[in-house]
Structure 1
Amino acid sequence: MIETDRLRLRELSLDDTEFVLELLNTPGWIRYIGDKNVRTEEQARDYLENGPIKSYRENGYGLSLVEEKDGKRAIGMCGILKRDSLENPDIGYAFLPEFNGRGYAYEIASATLAYARDQLHIPTICAITLTDNKRSIALMEKIGLKFRQKIYRKEDEEELLLYST
């Protein structure tokens, strides 16, 4: 779907159940994205079927798997989401902890943003993050998103920062 120098982004499938189970239970995912209560392979399959796979079918886009090109190791997720609680689609990303700090998030997020703009023709992309997620804030700014406002969504327990193109 999207390729960069080091990474490939592809649609998630039910074959990615074990990876999803691992990623959704990392401390970073739980703290900054939220505990999705995915603890079994069956729950991971359900997450895939009713999340990314459903989004591909309904919206033509969704969270996708990020893998290293030179080993095809799954290292994270990145993609465009359409949430009922936001006016515009938003970009989301998460990586296994051992892949943080290598520039992967910037590499794939900037390519995903370009794809959303140029191929999907989405005029405005936003992003949300917790106020204390300094790494995510820095990445949003680095890929060209601008802070717009603080928001509260009923599904979140904390204040969020809203950025957009």
Structure 2
Amino acid sequence: MITETNRLILRPFTEPDIPALFLMNSVPEMLTYIPMEPFTHEAQAADIYHNVILADYAKHGFGRWAVHHKDDNKVIGFCGPKYLPEFNKVELGYRYFPEYWGQGIGYEAAQAAVDTFQPKFNIDLFIALILHGNQGSEGVAKKVGMSLFEQNEYLGHKVHVYQREF
């Protein structure tokens, strides 16, 4: 476990989470502001787990974390840091299943993640890349103390870059 709140546990992804990773990357509503094509096979999620998530954990000591809902006893999304070499900075990223939107989960998980950045991982500055129009994600970024730093491009899309320093 990385950290927890009253409702949530943030922990490293494990192999049994691959089906949830598949859903996070195939549910159309979850991908509205994500510049990628939806997954069509669970093997794509297994590839991300083995070759991206585990690689980030090994290389940086951190990476995207599973957000486990205590009452529902299941993974409902992800939240956590990822080093982006294109920006030479750590990004706070988050994504949740639509049935959990509007319940304060995004802020709750993001704040718990931010509270662990400095003491556990020595992350002193982090960013969030948010596609234009994603007001929900911008709201979460602002609530955890981030402010608009610049507009840029990422993967061929215009993004707002939010930033926070400790």
Q: What TM-score does the superposition give when structure 1 sets the normalisation length?
A: 0.93
The answer to whether the Cα contact below 8 Å between 1:66 and 1:74 also exists between their aligned partners in 2 is yes
For 2:146 and 2:140, the matched residues in 1 are separated by 9
Alignment of 1:69-148 (within 5 A): 69-148=70-149
Amino acid in structure 2 at the alignment position of 1:15 = P
SS of equivalent residue, structure 1 residue 160 = strand
- The superposition leaves residues 94-121 of structure 1 with CA deviations (integer Å, 9 ceiling, x where unpaired) of 0001011111110010110110122111
| Aligned residue in 2 for 1:32 | 33
CA-CA distance at 1:15 after TM superposition = 1.1
Farther off after superposition, 54-63 or 71-80:
71-80
| Aligned residue in 2 for 1:158 | 157
CA-CA distance at 1:29 after TM superposition = 3.2
CA-CA distance at 1:36 after TM superposition = 5.0
SS of equivalent residue, structure 1 residue 38 = coil
Amino acid in structure 2 at the alignment position of 1:138 = G
| Aligned residue in 2 for 1:9 | 10
Amino acid in structure 1 at the alignment position of 2:45 = A
For 2:147 and 2:26, the matched residues in 1 are separated by 30
Question: Which runs of structure 1 show a deviation greater than 6 angstroms over 4 or more consecutive aligned residues?
Answer: none
| Number of aligned positions between the proteins | 163
CA-CA distance at 1:31 after TM superposition = 2.1
Q: Within the alignment, does 1:149 sit opposite 2:165 as a pair?
A: no
Amino acid in structure 1 at the alignment position of 2:119 = D
The answer to whether the Cα contact below 8 Å between 1:29 and 1:35 also exists between their aligned partners in 2 is no
- The superposition leaves residues 37-72 of structure 1 with CA deviations (integer Å, 9 ceiling, x where unpaired) of 532121110011112111001100001110112332
CA-CA distance at 1:78 after TM superposition = 0.5
| Structure 2 unaligned regions, length at least 5 | none
Cα-Cα RMSD: 1.3
The answer to whether the Cα contact below 8 Å between 1:17 and 1:44 also exists between their aligned partners in 2 is yes
| Structure 1 unaligned regions, length at least 5 | none
| Aligned residue in 2 for 1:50 | 51
